[in-house]
Structure 1
Amino acid sequence: MTTAETATGPVVVDGESLSVDALRQVAESGTPVKVHTEAMEKVLRSRASLESMIIRGEPVPGAVGGDGRESPPGIDVARESERQTNLVRSHSVGVGPLYAEDEARAMVTARLNSLAKGHSAVRPDILDRMVLYLNEGIIPAVPEIGSSGPVDLVPLAHVASTLIGEGHVLHDGRRQETRRVLGAMGVAPLRLGVKEGTALINGTSGTVGLGALVVARALDQVRQAEIASAFFDDAVRGSDSPFLAEGHDTARPHRGQIDSAANLRDLLADSRGRRETEHGGAVLGFPGPQVPGFYTARTVPQVLGAARDALRHATEELEAELNSANDEPLFLPDGKVLHGGTAQGRAVALALEFVAIALSHVGELAERQIDRMLTRRPASGVARYLVAADPTLHHGFAGVGHTARALTAENLAVGTAAAQVVTAFGDDRPTAGTGLLAARNARRVLQNNDRIIAIGLIVAAQAADLARRFDDLSRANMATYDMVRSLVPSLGVDRSMAQDVELIATALSRAEFLHLLLRQEGIVLR
């Protein structure tokens, strides 16, 4: 366990070991932060290196203006403060809705850790102020739209503007002028020095902060999709054979697939309604195989396992970037100054694009499972669409099936972000898409999936109600059923189920089904 992952006490930021999970603790739970002493010493040395160059009258590429121009000999420090401030002001032009509080906190944490790497030549005061913001609940108000390439200049400028007492923050649950909030706290705005505006806004911390939250939440979603798939498998009396360890651990050993299959075995361990057959399945309560090759049940490890692999890759890329110095120029320990493409975020952008694609497959699987439960007419008297009342007067779950398909279509319509090529600065700088848009696209699919999976859980619970074979459900599935029913009632006569879907989706977004199984059944999913 690294210092950044300490379970008790503050998260220690050192520029080297901050994990996605630790960032999530700070962003979502408000865990306090502090900067490691050794990291602050590196920050001091980096700043001293820059100041020595200024004293010697040496040109410093990119240290002023933020557009790569060399500093003139004998920098006027007072004028440079004005220039750096104007750089922040001129880029604070984001539009649209604001990022949520936890998303903005994630961005601040990511930028703090990047500066703690000790290559950005900022004063410790900058880091101290960001720590104050995180620990005192002062959250920059950051508009979502403005990042046009692999560098998050505009959103990070909105973060930086609050450090100098400008712009707006989210404090006490509302958007307020920064100067008023700081004034009430007795905190003076910072005055930026040489390079500090550039260091604050030239980087990928917007993408990394939001992307880290999306990927961490996406793994929780995949686990809950496994919970929903196990409930579905019990509802249709699926076969044991698709989840056999031998078929995954040795025959086709993809890591994500192995983990998903193991989770499904745990979730279905004591089920008495499923059959030890090679294929097929039957609707709960009605013996006999249905159509052979029951794809939506037997391919769960392959589909969700592939999503797991995509998320693992994205986590690796995010953590590498999270612990990187990604502004420019960089001041290296040997006295060299690196002015290259260090602010490029293509690796993270491509990984987040992959996440959006993988999550769209998670949603599609859930929708196909819903369709299977609603439209396969069993040989019994259970009505199509799981209608509990008079089927000549009522429609049951036909409507929610449309909603599930619509959400799946929304996912498929989410466009590419990292693959788009735009140019900037008079065609001098071709850029490949935008990582922040890729993160927002993945977030949109994630939110749609919560609703699709919610519909699947409600439908499976209705199937269990109609069959009245609760003793055949596994303990995990019975716990899942009970939680669904604690939030929404069974469907008798037709009624609007829009609120039902939103209630379950909200529980899924908070990983409540995952926490329930851990708390009640002691099941720890991989």
Structure 2
Amino acid sequence: MSPTVDLDGTGLRAGDVETIARGGAPVRVTDAGWERIAVAARPLGDGSVYGRTTGVGANKHADAAFGNGLRLLRSHACGAGAPVPADQARAMLAVRVNQLAAGGAGVHPRVVAALVEALNQGLTPPVRSIGAIGTGDLTALATTALCLLGERPWQGGTMPVVDIDDGDALALISSSAATIGAAALAWCDTDRLLRAMVTVAALSMDAVDASPEPFAEAVQAANPYPGQARVAAMVRALIVDRSQRRVQDSYAYRALPQVHGTAFDAADRLDAVLTVALNAAAENPLVASGRAVHNGNFHTAALAAAADGLCAALAQTAALSAARLASLVDPATTGLRAFLATGPQDSSGVMILEYVAHSALAELRGCAGGAVAAASGGALSMGAEEHASFATQSAARLATAADRAAVVVGCELVAAARAVRQRGGQLPGPLAAFASADDADRSLEADLDAAVALLPTLAD
């Protein structure tokens, strides 16, 4: 089992979320976190408090009646679509506990302790995928609250019922923890993929005798974008000087630092946004100095913009991978048979990989273009809430985009490994066992599946 992850509301990172959500790491709230939770849970002074003494949404001017908290949870636990994967549900729980440990929510410590127990017992709520628009994961967290109350079943086991009073209800569910958790997992997948893509691109360079000149330090110093310099340095560490057969290569190779570097920069931006979001007391109302301060910190515009930016950059660099694949099947660049085929002259070799890659790329581009629709916003609750970031959808698009990009790069990897081997080159490390020596026309599904599965290993 992975080591215990401390949740204190200050130091959680996306990688920690993955360790909890996918690695099954147990969690504990630090003493400082418990202190902040307890301070925020103390009785508030006089005055109207949204969701406690009033209704919510357009009902904010209505006085709350006794039992408003339970009615709120029951009425808002209405998701749609397929259940989210267990890792996303665990990520949501971990993020919400850490947010509560940052202070400011006003949730009773017993409720937080129950969330920690659920995580450590491997329980997940039956959260569904549709229901949030980037202004709070109300349906997902209300469903979680009903699990705590014993009105909905946990997945994976049972635990004692927890009392949630009227003051706890909105304070528990007024959060974008599910969206932030899903974005954190998508970032982890994308970060690994981006690093693996450099390794695959270097292998393709070897297959076509690409020039190392575009990766020289002097070139990067003349156009000093951090991501560009990072890509160039990674490639310099992977390749050796080789004979050049062209004055300069196609954009697929020559512009790799610029295009792929942009994706690294976009990933760094999302990482920075996530680091804030994971540890923010983005509560409305925020309990501060014994009073409730109403605000808009629940809004996830920054997260949506960063996730959409990474999705767009990922589409660009995946297109470059598809372009390298095109060069690998072309005798003009490899000096080998068309489509890296063997046998009769009409053999297809790896021809089909281009079709698969462009099918995946089309879906990836659709994900990148989805940000335009999300930007239109929406007015809800009789106009009381007239804007949304749709960060929930941005996180889902990024996860899908990373999955499709992995297919594109997997196609490049299969072709590059075959080309290097056909030219008599040596395949390093895990690639030596991965690449089949059978170049006869046959189904390449197993090769492609193996290539995609190998990508996380190539990240390092």
Provide the TM-score with structure 2 as the length reference. Answer: 0.93
Give 2:141's aligned residue. 156
CA gap 1:224/1:490 in 2 versus in 1, 3 angstroms: same
Give 1:225's aligned residue. 197
CA gap 1:339/1:495 in 2 versus in 1, 3 angstroms: same
Secondary structure in structure 2 of the residue aligned to 1:97: strand
Give 1:478's aligned residue. 428
Secondary structure in structure 1 of the residue aligned to 2:283: coil
Report the Cα distance in structure 1 between the residues aligned to 2:148 and 2:274, rounded to whole angstroms: 25
| 2:18 pairs with 1:24 | yes
Please report how far the alpha carbon of residue 360 of structure 1 lies from its aligned counterpart in structure 2 after TM superposition: 1.0
Letter in 1 for 2:60: R
Give 2:97's aligned residue. 112
Please report how far the alpha carbon of residue 191 of structure 1 lies from its aligned counterpart in structure 2 after TM superposition: 1.9
Contact 2:311–2:398 (Cα < 8 Å) also in 1: yes
Give 1:513's aligned residue. 458
Report the Cα distance in structure 1 between the residues aligned to 2:134 and 2:27, rounded to whole angstroms: 30
Report the Cα distance in structure 2 between the residues aligned to 1:240 and 1:107, rounded to whole angstroms: 44
Contact 1:62–1:70 (Cα < 8 Å) also in 2: no
Identity of counterpart residues, as a percentage? Answer: 26
Letter in 2 for 1:498: E
Letter in 2 for 1:367: A
Match of 1:97 among 47, 70, 82: 82
Match of 1:46 among 40, 46, 57: 40
Secondary structure in structure 1 of the residue aligned to 2:186: helix
Letter in 1 for 2:395: A
Give 1:176's aligned residue. none
The 5 A counterparts of 1:44-193 are 44-50=38-44, 53=45, 58-64=47-53, 65-67=55-57, 69=60, 72=63, 79-80=66-67, 83-171=68-156, 181-182=157-158, 187-193=159-165
Report the Cα distance in structure 2 between the residues aligned to 1:446 and 1:440, rounded to whole angstroms: 10
Letter in 1 for 2:71: N
Unaligned runs of 5+ in 2: none
Contact 2:299–2:388 (Cα < 8 Å) also in 1: no
Contact 1:149–1:422 (Cα < 8 Å) also in 2: no
Please report how far the alpha carbon of residue 411 of structure 1 lies from its aligned counterpart in structure 2 after TM superposition: 1.1
Report the Cα distance in structure 2 between the residues aligned to 1:262 and 1:325, rounded to whole angstroms: 38
Match of 1:199 among 168, 171, 175: 171
Contact 1:422–1:430 (Cα < 8 Å) also in 2: yes
Secondary structure in structure 2 of the residue aligned to 1:424: coil
The 5 A counterparts of 1:412-431 are 412-414=365-367, 415-416=370-371, 418-431=374-387
Secondary structure in structure 2 of the residue aligned to 1:423: coil
How many residues are treated as equivalent by the alignment?
Answer: 455
Give 1:4's aligned residue. none
The 5 A counterparts of 1:262-341 are 262-268=233-239, 271=240, 274-275=242-243, 288-289=245-246, 292-332=248-288, 334-341=289-296
Give 1:469's aligned residue. 425
Letter in 2 for 1:390: P
Report the Cα distance in structure 2 between the residues aligned to 1:169 and 1:482, rounded to whole angstroms: 45
Give 2:222's aligned residue. 251
After superposition, what is the alpha-carbon deviation per residue over 1:312-366, rounded to whole angstroms, capped at 9, x for unaligned?
111111111111122311110x223211212111111111111211111121111
Give 2:437's aligned residue. 490
Secondary structure in structure 2 of the residue aligned to 1:344: coil
CA gap 1:200/1:391 in 2 versus in 1, 3 angstroms: farther
Letter in 1 for 2:452: A
Contact 1:151–1:434 (Cα < 8 Å) also in 2: no
Contact 1:377–1:383 (Cα < 8 Å) also in 2: no
Please report how far the alpha carbon of residue 375 of structure 1 lies from its aligned counterpart in structure 2 after TM superposition: 2.8
Letter in 1 for 2:422: L
Please report how far the alpha carbon of residue 407 of structure 1 lies from its aligned counterpart in structure 2 after TM superposition: 1.0
Secondary structure in structure 2 of the residue aligned to 1:189: coil
Please report how far the alpha carbon of residue 436 of structure 1 lies from its aligned counterpart in structure 2 after TM superposition: 0.8
Report the Cα distance in structure 1 between the residues aligned to 2:261 and 2:271, rounded to whole angstroms: 15
Contact 2:100–2:112 (Cα < 8 Å) also in 1: yes
| 2:28 pairs with 1:34 | yes
Give 1:177's aligned residue. none
Higher relative contact order (CA 8 A, sep 6+): 2
CA gap 1:491/1:391 in 2 versus in 1, 3 angstroms: farther
Between 1:306-315 and 1:318-327, the stretch displaced more is 318-327
Secondary structure in structure 1 of the residue aligned to 2:150: coil
Please report how far the alpha carbon of residue 62 of structure 1 lies from its aligned counterpart in structure 2 after TM superposition: 3.0
After superposition, what is the alpha-carbon deviation per residue over 1:190-240, rounded to whole angstroms, capped at 9, x for unaligned?
121133221222211111100011112211111000010110111111112
| 2:329 pairs with 1:374 | yes
Match of 1:500 among 444, 447, 452: 447
Contact 2:105–2:172 (Cα < 8 Å) also in 1: no
Please report how far the alpha carbon of residue 498 of structure 1 lies from its aligned counterpart in structure 2 after TM superposition: 2.2
Give 1:285's aligned residue. none
After superposition, what is the alpha-carbon deviation per residue over 1:128-155, rounded to whole angstroms, capped at 9, x for unaligned?
1111111111112211111134322122
| 2:315 pairs with 1:354 | no
CA gap 1:244/1:354 in 2 versus in 1, 3 angstroms: same
Please report how far the alpha carbon of residue 403 of structure 1 lies from its aligned counterpart in structure 2 after TM superposition: 0.8
Report the Cα distance in structure 2 between the residues aligned to 1:379 and 1:336, rounded to whole angstroms: 70
Contact 2:299–2:389 (Cα < 8 Å) also in 1: no
Contact 2:37–2:102 (Cα < 8 Å) also in 1: yes
CA gap 1:107/1:305 in 2 versus in 1, 3 angstroms: same
Please report how far the alpha carbon of residue 483 of structure 1 lies from its aligned counterpart in structure 2 after TM superposition: 4.3
Question: Cα RMSD between the aligned structures?
Answer: 2.2
